[in-house]
Every structure is written in C-alpha cells, then in structure tokens.
Amino acid sequence: MLKVSVLQKERIKYQPKLPKSLKGFPKLINGDKTKSVADQKDIEKLFPNTYGMPIISFEENLDMSGKTPINVGVILSGGQAPGGHNVISGIFDGVKNINPDSKLYGFIGGPGGLVDHKYIELTADIIDDYRNTGGFDIIGSGRTKLEEDWQYDKGLEIAKKLGLHSLVIIGGDDSNTNACILAEYYAAKNSGLNVIGCPKTIDGDLKNEMIEASFGFDTATKVYSGLIGNIQRDANSAKKYWHFIKLMGRSASHIALECALKTRPNITLISEEVEAKQQTLKEIVEYMAKIVAKRSESGSNFGVALIPEGLIEFIPEMKNLISELNDLLAHNESYFNSLNNDDEKFQYINSNISDKSSHIFNTLPENIQMQLLADRDPHGNVQVSKIETEQLLVNLVEEKLHEMKARGEYKGSFSTQTHFLGYEGRCAAPSNFDADYCYSLGITASVLISEGKTGYMASVRNLTAPSEEWIAGGVPITMMMNMEKRHKEMKPVIQKALVELDGAPYNYFKTKRKEWAYDTNYVFPGPIQYFGPSEICDATTEMLKLEKA
C-alpha cells in the first residue's frame, strides 16, 4: 500500500463520471470511411491495412452477456500528463467488466518495456492505489522510439507469451504515430495483436474535430494559471518586478493562450502569430519594450509576460538556424562532440551553416549558443526546454529600454524575475474534468479492444456538455496523419494541432490584448478545486468554452 495524503485518500474514493453510452456495453456504430488530413496517396500506400477505416461511435446498450476474456498490455509513452492513471484504471475496469478473467499488463518504462519484455500484471490491489492520482509512476514512462522491425517483433514475442489481444499506447502525437505504425505492422503479419491509442499531452497539440482535447491539458493549465495568478498578485503588491514566465509548449502555444485567458497578463506571445506575421526577434523585443515603457508612464514599473517554450523555433531567422543545426548535428553529432573546446565547435558550426544563419548565431549570447548546440532529443530536435528564451528576451528588452532612455523615450525602471513553469504541471492530481475524461478514454479503449479494433484512437467528445452527454467512440489514427520531413527523410506522422489564428479563442484574446497590456486586469484563479459546486470543480478549459460557444 502506498503512503498517501488525506487529499489522496479522498481522491481515491472519487468515482469518475461517465457518458451514458459507456454505462453497460455499447453498441458500435460505423460512420463513413475516412482519409488522412493530407498526403492521402502516400499515407494509404504506407498503411494499406489500416487506412480508410470508418469513425466509430457508441450507443447505449446494457447487454453485456457472452463476452470472452481479453488480455491487454498498456504502455505510457513520452512526458507525463495528469490523468494517465485514470486511463489505466478505466482500461482495467473496462476489461474486467467485459469478463472478470480478463488481464491487464503494464509495460515498465514506456515503449522500451515492450521491447525489453519488462512488465507487471496490474491487479486490483495495485490499481486501487492509483485512482485519480497524478503521475505515471504506476508503470513509468519512456521515450524509446519504436521504428525498426526487430523492435516490433520483440513486442510481438512478449505479446504471444502473455496471450495479449491488444496493446494500448497512451501518448502524444509521436507516440500515437508509433501506435499507428505498430497496428499496420501487426495487421500485415496477421499476428492477432491489435493496437489502440489514447490522446495524451499537456501541450494540447494532439487535437482535431474528433479529439477535442488531449488529456492533462486542463489540469496542467489550471496548475500553471494558479501559479501565474500568485505571481501576478505579488507583482501588483510589490510593484517593482516584471516577471517573464516561460510555459510548456514546444510546437504550439495552447498552454500560453489558455493561461492568458485564465489570468489576463500584460504580454502573451503566441508562437503561431509570430510565424504568420514573420516577426523578427527585433520586432518582438520592440513590442515588449513598448508595453513596458507605456506602463511605466502611469507608474506601473511591473508586469507579467507569458512566453511559449517553443517561441524561438517560430521566429523565422531562428527557425532556419535551428533547422540547419538539427540537420547538421543529426549526421555529425559524434564528430561534433569529439571536438576539444567551444571555439572549435563554434568554428565547425559557422563553417557548415549558411552565412545568414551564421550571422544570427554569432549575435546570440554565448549561453544561448551553447543551449542551441546541446544534445538532441530522441527525434533529433533541439531541446527547446533547455533554451532560456525568457532570459534572452529579458536581456534584449533591457538593451532596448536603455536605448529608449538615452533618447528620452523611457524614464521608468526595469527589474525582472524569470520563471519556467514546466514540471510543476505534468504530474498534478487530475482535475475532475481530467479524472472523468481519462477514465472515459480508458473504458472506451477497452470497448474498442473487445470488438477487435486496431489502428484506432479512443475518442470522447462534446466535452463542454455534462459528462453524461459526452460522445465516446474511436477514430482511425491514419485520419490524423500527413507526411513531414524528419532527419532529412519524409515520414508519416500525426499532424500537430497549432493555435488557429482564425479560431474563437485567439480572436477573443486579440480583442482583449491591448486592454490587458496597459491596464492591470489580473485574474487570480487559485488552486484546483476538487470538492464543491460543479460549476467550479467540473469546469473545462476557457479555450473549449470559446470553441464550442
């Protein structure tokens, strides 16, 4: 038995709410055949066995008779997100409701556990300690990329040993791309092993008309917004600091936008807007400095700025530089790391990238240069979380304000604090919304498994309605895929969902941005509420409310 706090004891007792269609054993209704979001011919050629399948919806049906036992393996893949334990408990309860003799196995440490045959049988004694809790510690997670036949075959070997009917991969866009590739590989071999995905990422970039939200996003943004509110209250109390806060979100600015809608900071940078407007680093700095100077005119030498983690990759000249560095180091990392000192490394970089990128690289502070050259992630990309974009912007805004002061355009003071809100939100106890949503995703996955489906992602939508009215079903993963360049080769991947600049959340933010910049309109959300009125405890994100208004 795990040691638990009083809150955790009470949370374990919480029974997640379910859609009507998941109470009992649903009937499956097939919709129209589907096609990928882009590159249809290429995707169909790569996935002949799992392409074009119909969207599945569930209808309420209380008959659960005659269901045979099913054995399932589950994998947590990638970074942690609040609610993962509830997906697993939903799968467990689902397969046990189908037949009490069903078994659930967890692969330890992510996809690597499948390849290395490290697993544990998840029993009621284990599951019951983790209901409605944060983290992925029940079986751990990992970022092993499954991309070679021998890895798939090792997975099939352990699946046969355990008598598995299906694997459930709980992860983000890259992890569910892996799920799609595994599903196709096993289908082509007539292996009898099916694969189902579940949409996880606090970044919110696994999203489309059928996946209205990735789980964990609601909880993480509530945690971050509570902390931002605390910082804003301090800023408005002390009235002496500008707080530059970097937030998780490498490829998309959903977290920054959601937190802005919740807290109303003075500055919020949206990476997608920067890219669309082709804004330079200089233009971004001038925009921020103008707001700092304008607020100082009324004596407000304080404020809060939100900065998406991946901003630097959306600034055109920085994007080109990073792309060239990624391509160069993807094929020469061993040689680069063998160089004796930083001078040799910088000389090598400058000799092997374009003159324009070399110029940009050499204008950056040395600490930023080193961060751009740090070890790549498993997908060959720069680890943007290690780039101190917030400090870079502080330094450049400060330089700009000195120039403005010399011209008599600015008379205020500029003292700063920097923050990076990242790990604080990844393993929080899930909000009621995420607890309910994740449990429903787990039950949905168990239904798809029992019906022999493969290559599907569990889908629960209509999420702004009461949970009884949520719509559960399955969406073919190939429907979300397109071709993208990875390591200089075109690869099939799930298309990332970025902030839509013609969407309701961004357009509402845009109408309020100037008001929030110059006036002090802070909102203090406070911590997540787990017990109390439904309108407080069960509320979903501001973005979903605006999208579905």
Convert the pLDDT of each residue in 129-154 to its tens digit: 999 999 999 999 999 989 899 999 99
pLDDT grade for 283, boundaries at 50, 70 and 90? very high
Q: How many residues does the chain have?
A: 549
Report CA dihedral (150, 157, 473, 142) to the nearest 10 degrees: -60
Q: How far apart are CA 175 and CA 200, in angstroms?
A: 9
Helix (H) or strand (E) segment spanning residue 445: helix 432-450
Judged against a pLDDT cut of 60, whether residue 518 lies above it is answered with: yes
Residues noted as catalytic: 203
Specify the pLDDT at position 366.
86
Q: How far apart are CA 155 and CA 151, in angstroms?
A: 6
In SS3 terms, 374-388 reads as: CCCCCCCCCCHHHCC
Average pLDDT, the chain: 94
Q: How far apart are CA 454 and CA 476, in angstroms?
A: 8
For residue 167, what are the CA distances in angstroms to 163, 339, 447, 490?
A: 11, 44, 13, 27
Higher per-residue pLDDT: 363 or 409:
409
Q: What phi and psi, each to the nearest 5 degrees, are found at residue 524? A: -115, 90
Amino acid type, 128: D
Q: How far apart are CA 505 and CA 497, in angstroms?
A: 14
Nearest to 514 by CA among 247, 299, 268: 268
Nearest to 459 by CA among 439, 479, 481, 444: 444
Convert the pLDDT of each residue in 357-369 to its tens digit: 999 999 888 888 8
Q: What phi and psi, each to the nearest 5 degrees, are found at residue 461? A: -135, -170
Report CA dihedral (396, 305, 325, 486) to the nearest 10 degrees: -160
Q: How far apart are CA 362 and CA 462, in angstroms?
A: 50
Average pLDDT rounded to a whole number, residues 31-58? 97
Specify the pLDDT at position 363.
87
As given in the structure block, the two tokens for residue 57 are: 């919806």
Q: What phi and psi, each to the nearest 5 degrees, are found at residue 243? A: -105, 120
Convert the pLDDT of each residue in 348-394 to its tens digit: 999 999 999 999 999 888 888 888 988 776 666 777 778 899 999 99
Lowest mean pLDDT among 175-184, 247-256, 365-374: 365-374
Specify the pLDDT at position 67.
82
Specify the pLDDT at position 64.
60
Helix (H) or strand (E) segment spanning residue 460: strand 456-461
Nearest to 323 by CA among 280, 365, 376: 376
Q: How far apart are CA 87 and CA 140, in angstroms?
A: 14
Asked whether 317 and 356 are in contact (CB, 8 A), the reply is yes
Q: How far apart are CA 368 and CA 366, in angstroms?
A: 5
Asked whether 426 and 79 are in contact (CB, 8 A), the reply is yes
Amino acid type, 52: G
Q: How far apart are CA 252 and CA 246, in angstroms?
A: 13
How is residue 427 annotated by DSSP? S
Domains of the chain: 35-216+430-494 (3.40.50.450), 221-425+503-544 (3.40.50.460)
Nearest to 214 by CA among 173, 263, 258: 173
Residues with Cβ < 8 Å from 85, sequence gap 6 or more? 130, 131, 132, 133, 134, 135, 136, 138, 438
Q: How far apart are CA 364 and CA 348, in angstroms?
A: 17
Average pLDDT rounded to a whole number, residues 323-344? 88
Judged against a pLDDT cut of 90, whether residue 8 lies above it is answered with: no
pLDDT grade for 2, boundaries at 50, 70 and 90? low
Bridge partners (DSSP) listed for residue 418: 244
What percent of the chain clears pLDDT 90, i.e. is strictly above it?
A: 86
Residue 306 DSSP SS3: strand
Residues with Cβ < 8 Å from 244, sequence gap 6 or more? 305, 307, 390, 391, 393, 394, 416, 417, 418, 419
Specify the pLDDT at position 63.
67
Amino acid type, 95: V
Nearest to 330 by CA among 371, 377, 278: 377
Judged against a pLDDT cut of 80, whether residue 444 lies above it is answered with: yes
Alpha helices in 277-315 (DSSP H): 281-297, 311-314
pLDDT grade for 62, boundaries at 50, 70 and 90? low
pLDDT grade for 477, boundaries at 50, 70 and 90? very high
Q: How far apart are CA 141 and CA 138, in angstroms?
A: 9
pTM value?
Answer: 0.94
Alpha helices in 99-136 (DSSP H): 111-116, 124-127
What percent of the chain clears pLDDT 70, i.e. is strictly above it?
A: 98
Average pLDDT rounded to a whole number, residues 26-41? 95
Specify the pLDDT at position 380.
65
Asked whether 248 and 203 are in contact (CB, 8 A), the reply is yes
For residue 310, what are the CA distances in angstroms to 60, 150, 252?
A: 42, 34, 7
Specify the pLDDT at position 323.
87
